[in-house]
């Protein structure tokens, strides 16, 4: 009976890098798209606002698993034979993250008091200047804890990417278990890997909060 | 005297509540107009209408040559001419006093950073806070924050300054330091409209008093009018204040 060896640990380490990579893709892509959606949600134009709201509702109302299936098989129906797993997983998680980040960030932007908009408006600043110079710097501070909290969610949700054939941390754990049948040991180690990825994020969030607090307790 | 501000028959409602019910008054260049009245008389709303922060339903408002009632109003052009100071200061909390002041001149008037800093130093000195340039709003007292807010408006070199109950959130001592800054401004020839509860200040500094009651201008006249009210409402109001 084979047992857990350094080779398995190496395999898990590679898989952990894929988990980190996929998380980074999801966060960067989802962040860009989500930020655009957050701005669209508070646009002065009603149509833009409503379109963004519909997009967010659809994404938030769809399980990530289904979203991944839809992209993986949907693109195949469109005529592309094999979608690379990394592409399907990356696009799926990006869309998923955008729907949630948009709503988190919209809330943060709107929680900056209306009087701040008014003060900037009365100084003849344009809407763009008000947003970038007055509102966003304050919203970033409010958004930090919830954004990092969601980043941790993304890291853990990458485990669903295994359904489209993507080998990340938990899929690698399953693969190893299929050969050596030591589920408890293997998945404790997998869990430690996840913790090692997520814990620094939370620590980083706290230090960011402190840094953003400079000059205002 | 050419009117810098003139309101004619201004009507404004919030839902079913009529807040302004045909308000008319004029303020000339270099005048200091004190708008007084009970809470709910519409005085703050009238002030906000002058700066297009509220839309009006009826009537006309002309401010420094801008037709504020016109739906096609260029708001940014209006706001370059009109400064406003709020009861709650509304300084930008993530910027120092100096940065608060530098922001708009750099954004709106494309001043260089160095020029904006010189300007900020200049207006901060005018409100007696030159040494507080590097302080964040939270490190300043209410009175100091309000003086920074006044300096921030001044830096845009407005032709008209609006003050919306700027001392209502301050204790008497801090109120004094803010009023002194406003008195200096008035003496320097700034056209000012202030909504205020400070009767002694209105009496001393205002060239014109506008007493509002139930959404209309009930009585108007020079500062001395407060010592000789013509209507029973103003008599009661002034009596209650003293």
User: Which ipTM did the prediction report?
Assistant: 0.91
- Of B100, B129, B137, nearest in space to B117 by CA: B100
**Residue A214, pLDDT above cutoff 70:** no
- How far is residue A129's CA from residue A121's CA, in Å, rounded to a whole number? 9
Q: In the numeric block, which tokens belong to residue A210? A: 């402190």
Residues A123, B79: C-beta atoms closer than 8 Å: yes
- Residue with the two structure tokens 């807040």: B19
Instruction: Give chain A's domains with CATH numbers.
Output: 6-212 (1.10.3720.10)
Q: Directed axis angle between helix A46-60 and helix A6-41, to 10°?
A: 150
Alpha helices of B155-219 — where are they, by DSSP H?
172-187, 199-205
pLDDT per position as a tens digit, A165-187: 889 999 999 999 999 999 999 99
- How far is residue B47's CA from residue A16's CA, in Å, rounded to a whole number? 61
A119 — contact with chain B (CB < 8 Å)?
A: yes
**Residue A15, pLDDT above cutoff 50:** yes
| Nearest-by-CA chain B residue for A135 | B92
- How far is residue B218's CA from residue A69's CA, in Å, rounded to a whole number? 71
Q: In the numeric block, which tokens belong to residue B144? A: 């100091």
Triad A31, A33, A39: Cα angle to 5°? 95
Instruction: Give chain B's domains with CATH numbers.
Output: 3-241 (3.40.50.300)
CB A138 within 8 A of CB A116: yes
Residues A133, B108: C-beta atoms closer than 8 Å: no
pLDDT per position as a tens digit, B59-114: 999 999 999 999 999 999 999 999 999 999 999 999 999 999 999 999 999 999 99
CB B105 within 8 A of CB B155: yes
Q: What does the pLDDT read at residue B73?
A: 94
Q: Please identify every stretch of chain B with a pLDDT value under 70, giving residue numbers as ranges.
A: 1, 240-242
- How far is residue B52's CA from residue B74's CA, in Å, rounded to a whole number? 10
**Residue A9, pLDDT above cutoff 60:** yes
Using an 8 Å CB-CB cutoff, list chain B residues near A117.
none
Residues B107, A119: C-beta atoms closer than 8 Å: no
Q: What does the pLDDT read at residue B241?
A: 56
- How far is residue B161's CA from residue B53's CA, in Å, rounded to a whole number? 14
Q: What does the pLDDT read at residue B84?
A: 97
Confidence of residue A124 (pLDDT cuts 50, 70, 90): very high
Of the residues A124, A140, A144, the best mutation for testing chain B's interface (the one with the most B CB atoms within 10 Å of its CB) is A124
- Residue with the two structure tokens 């000789």: B228
CB A68 within 8 A of CB A89: yes
pLDDT per position as a tens digit, A88-112: 899 999 999 999 999 999 999 999 9
Alpha helices of chain A — where are they, by DSSP H?
6-41, 46-60, 64-77, 85-110, 114-121, 127-129, 136-157, 169-180, 183-212
């Amino acid at each position: 009976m084979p047992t857990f060896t350094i080779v398995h640990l190496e395999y898990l380490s590679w898989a952990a890098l894929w988990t980190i990579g996929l998380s980074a893709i999801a966060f960067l892509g989802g962040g860009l798209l989500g930020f655009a959606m957050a701005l669209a949600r508070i646009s002065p134009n009603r149509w833009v606002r409503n379109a963004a709201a519909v997009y967010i509702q659809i994404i938030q109302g769809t399980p990530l698993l289904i979203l991944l299936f839809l992209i993986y098989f949907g693109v195949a129906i469109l005529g592309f034979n094999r979608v690379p797993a990394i592409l399907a997983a990356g696009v799926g998680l990006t869309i998923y993250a955008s729907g949630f980040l948009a709503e988190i960030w919209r809330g943060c932007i709107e929680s900056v008091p209306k009087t701040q908009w008014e003060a900037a408006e009365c100084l003849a600043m344009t809407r763009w200047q008000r947003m970038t110079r007055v509102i966003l710097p304050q919203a970033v501070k409010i958004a930090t804890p919830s954004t990092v909290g969601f980043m941790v969610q993304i890291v853990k949700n990458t485990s669903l990417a295994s359904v489209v054939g993507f080998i990340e941390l938990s899929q690698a754990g399953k693969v190893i278990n299929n050969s050596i049948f030591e589920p408890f040991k293997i998945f404790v180690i997998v869990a430690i890997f996840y913790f090692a990825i997520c814990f620094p994020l939370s620590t980083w969030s706290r230090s960011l909060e402190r840094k953003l607090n400079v000059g205002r307790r | 005297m050419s009117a810098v501000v003139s309101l004619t028959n201004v009507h404004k409602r919030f839902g079913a509540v009529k807040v302004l019910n045909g308000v008319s008054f004029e303020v000339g260049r270099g005048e200091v107009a004190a708008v007084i009245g009970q809470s709910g008389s519409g005085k703050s709303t009238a002030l906000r209408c002058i700066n297009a922060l509220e839309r009006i339903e009826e009537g006309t408002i002309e401010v420094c040559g801008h037709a504020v009632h016109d739906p096609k109003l260029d708001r940014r052009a209006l706001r370059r001419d009109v400064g406003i100071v709020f009861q709650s200061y509304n300084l930008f909390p993530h910027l120092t006093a100096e940065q608060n002041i530098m922001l708009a001149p750099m954004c709106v008037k494309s001043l260089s950073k160095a020029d904006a800093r010189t300007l900020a130093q200049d207006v901060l000195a005018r409100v007696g806070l030159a040494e507080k340039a590097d302080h964040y709003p939270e490190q300043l007292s209410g009175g100091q924050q309000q003086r920074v807010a006044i300096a921030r408006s001044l830096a845009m070199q407005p032709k008209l300054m609006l003050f919306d109950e700027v001392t209502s959130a301050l204790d008497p001592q801090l109120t004094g330091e803010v009023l002194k800054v406003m008195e200096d401004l008035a003496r320097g020839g700034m056209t000012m409209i202030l909504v205020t509860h400070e009767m002694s200040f209105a009496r001393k500094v205002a060239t014109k008093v506008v007493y509002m009651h139930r959404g209309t201008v009930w009585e108007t006249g020079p500062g001395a009018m407060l010592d000789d009210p013509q209507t029973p409402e103003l008599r009661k109001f002034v009596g209650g204040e003293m």
